[in-house]
Amino acid sequence: MAIIGTDLGLAAEFLAAGELVGMPTETVYGLAGNALDPDAVTKIFKTKNRPSFDPLIVHTSDISKVTDFVEEFPASLRLLAERFWPGPLTLLLPKKKNVPDLVTSGLDTVAVRVPRHELTLRLLRQLPFPLAAPSANPFGYISPTKAVHVNDQLGDKIPYILDGGACEVGLESTIVGMLDGEVTVFRLGGLEVKKIESIVGKVKVMAHSSSNPQSPGMLKSHYAPTKPFLIGNLSSMIKKYQEKEVPFAVLAFRAFFDTVEEGKQVQLSLDGSLEEAAKNLFAAMRTLDSLNVSVILSEYLPDEGLGKAINDRLKRAAAESMDSDEDIRIQTF
Ligand code: AMP
Ligand code: MG
């Protein structure tokens, strides 16, 4: 198993030696390696079992360092960086040659972000290279929001996990780039679209198409538990599964269900806070996935603010289960 701790010197040593380290950020935990070292980057893909067509996000400590590996910074994207970094915003920028093609899956843009986590910022400041870091989970599974999640799944494959506590935002970053000269959102995430629009005006959102080759992370089925995961009207789904005598667990926004055992249900935010719900989402999905049940029942959250990004994750977690069960799909929508 990996060592879990807060020793920045040790983490930096492993990274400088081409090893991978679990790294906290405000969004989710990353699986970090030297972004400019093709061998370290190859290790990232292998360790996660991530397909090579899914490019990585490169993390750096300061906006002034971006030009070390980026050709140019379009003015409107620079405005966003100045306003929202450090924070849950990833920008797609034209890459320099020193970024290995593997990092960008052969694309000529590289995804870049300055994370908002003090421990990780201190680590990045110590290092003479940026860190490529996708979420620290096997490809396709629920993203990790605590050090222990990383250890559970990748602990036998990496030497060290930097423990920065529970992630403050809990959802992946919002990905923004230029498309035909327009600022475009490619993945909904921890930074709300309306905050982006308050700086650069109306933007295009392309995050809903599942087949857009520009951003392979928009795969339809992703962030998925191992158990079937269904979304619909919770009261009627609960009734149906009780009648069928199929053991189930419930992931609710704020409602508590008296007819369901307390240990078999999780409320994302009793107060109805979307921020709190985002922060709890992935840990709740992991908890329910570990229970002795046959199916997880869930519901959409209000489709506003962070609720849009949460619903995007729920939809993708459910994609395979809903596609494979025509009967359930018709009943619950
Ligand atoms: P993750 O690090 O797992 O949260 O996901 C990184 C995601 O960023 C990928 O799955 C892509 O969707 C997106 N991405 C990274 N680099 C690029 C790029 N150069 N162009 C478009 N999308 C990118
Ligand atoms: Mg991921």
Task: Measure the CA–CA gap between 310 and 302, rounded to whole angstroms.
Answer: 9
Query: Is 255 among the domain residues?
Result: yes
Q: Is the dihedral of CA 268, 270, 276, 278 positive or negative?
A: positive
Domain assignment of residue 130, given as a range: 3-205
The answer as to whether 219 is a domain residue is: no
Q: Domain tally for the chain?
A: 2
Look at residue 208 in the predicted model and tell me its pLDDT: 57
Alpha-carbon span 42 to 24, nearest angstrom = 21
Do 18 and 145 lie in a common domain?
Answer: yes
Q: For 157, how many CA atoms within 13 A lie in the half-sphere containing its CB?
A: 18
Specify the pairing of strand 89-94 against strand 3-5: unpaired
Separation CA 166–CA 281 (nearest Å): 12
Q: What are the per-10-residue average pLDDT scores of the chain (333 residues)?
A: 96 98 98 98 96 95 97 97 98 98 97 98 98 95 96 97 98 96 96 98 79 50 84 97 96 98 97 98 96 97 96 91 53 36
pLDDT at 326: 43
Indicate if 37 and 181 belong to the same structural domain: yes
Structure-token pair, residue 161: 């996990």
109 in a structural domain: yes
The predicted structure's pLDDT at residue 328: 45
- Whether residue 245 is found in the same domain as residue 165: no
Per-residue tokens: 143 = 């993203």
Query: How far apart (Å, rounded) are the C-alpha atoms in residues 83 and 79?
Result: 6
- In short, whether 215's Cβ falls inside 6 Å of ligand 1 is yes
**Are 83 and 23 within 8 A, CB to CB?**
no
201 shares its domain with 235: no
Instruction: State whether the beta carbon of 92 lies less than 6 angstroms from ligand 1.
Output: yes
> Which ligand does the CA of 27 lie closest to?
1
Report if residue 277 sits inside a domain: yes
pLDDT for 221: 61
Q: Is 223 in the pocket of ligand 1 (CB under 6 A)?
A: no
Q: Which of 205, 237, 270 is the last residue of a domain?
A: 205
Look up tokens 């992630």; give the residue.
167
Q: How far is the CA of 262 from the centre of ligand 2 (A)?
A: 30
Nearest CA among 97, 312, 316, 279 for reference residue 206: 312
**What is the pairing mode between strands 204-205 and 21-23?**
unpaired
Residue 127 lies in a domain: yes
Ligand 1 site, residue 76, Cβ cutoff 6 A: no
Residues 154, 270: one domain? no
Q: Is the CB of 32 under 6 A from ligand 1?
A: no
Q: What are phi and psi of 205, to 5 degrees?
A: -115, 115
Indicate whether 50 and 192 sit together in one domain. Answer: yes
Q: Do 319 and 254 lie in a common domain?
A: yes
Q: Are residues 196 and 256 in the same domain?
A: no
Domain boundary, last residue among 205, 240, 266:
205
Query: How far is the centre of ligand 1, averaged over its atoms, from the C-alpha of 118 (Å)?
Result: 23
My answer on whether 170 and 23 are in the same domain is yes
CA distance 314 to 285: 10
- Note the pLDDT of residue 247: 96
Residues 287 and 199 in one domain: no
CATH number of the domain residue 234 falls in: 3.40.50.11030
Residue 65 is assigned to a structural domain of this protein: yes
Tell me the backbone φ, ψ of residue 318, rounded to 5 degrees: -90, -10
Domain boundary at 171, 205, 239, which? 205
| Number of residues that make up the chain | 333
What DSSP line would sit under 297-318, residue for residue?
A: EE-PPPSSTHHHHHHHHHHHHH
Q: Give the DSSP letter of residue 59.
A: E
Pocket test for ligand 1, best of 31, 56, 141 (most atoms within 8 A of CB): 56
The best mutation among 187, 188, 209 to test binding of ligand 1, ranked by most ligand atoms within 8 Å of the C-beta, falls on: 187
Please tell me the predicted confidence (pLDDT) of residue 1.
85
Q: Is residue 234 domain-shared with residue 192, that is, in the same domain?
A: no
Residues 189 and 42 in one domain: yes
Euclidean distance between CA atoms 108 and 106, whole angstroms = 7
How much is the CA Rg of the chain, to the nearest whole Å? 20
User: What 3-state DSSP class applies to 38?
Assistant: helix
Three-state DSSP at 179 gives: strand
Does residue 114 lie within any of the structural domains? Answer: yes
Those residues with Cβ within 8 angstroms of residue 285's Cβ, 6 or more apart along the chain or in another chain: 142, 223, 225, 229, 251, 296, 317
The answer to whether 86 touches 114, Cβ cutoff 8 Å, is yes
**What pLDDT, on the 0 to 100 scale, is given for residue 330?**
35
Q: Which CATH number fits the domain that encloses residue 177?
A: 3.90.870.10
Q: Does any domain span residue 217?
A: no
Whole-angstrom distance, CA of residue 207 vs CA of residue 174:
10
Residues 6+ apart with CB under 8 A from 274: 301, 302, 304, 305, 306, 307, 310
pLDDT for 52 equals: 92
How far is CA 191 from each of CA 95, 174, 175, 238, rounded to the nearest angstrom? 23, 6, 9, 33
Q: What's the pLDDT score for residue 323? A: 63
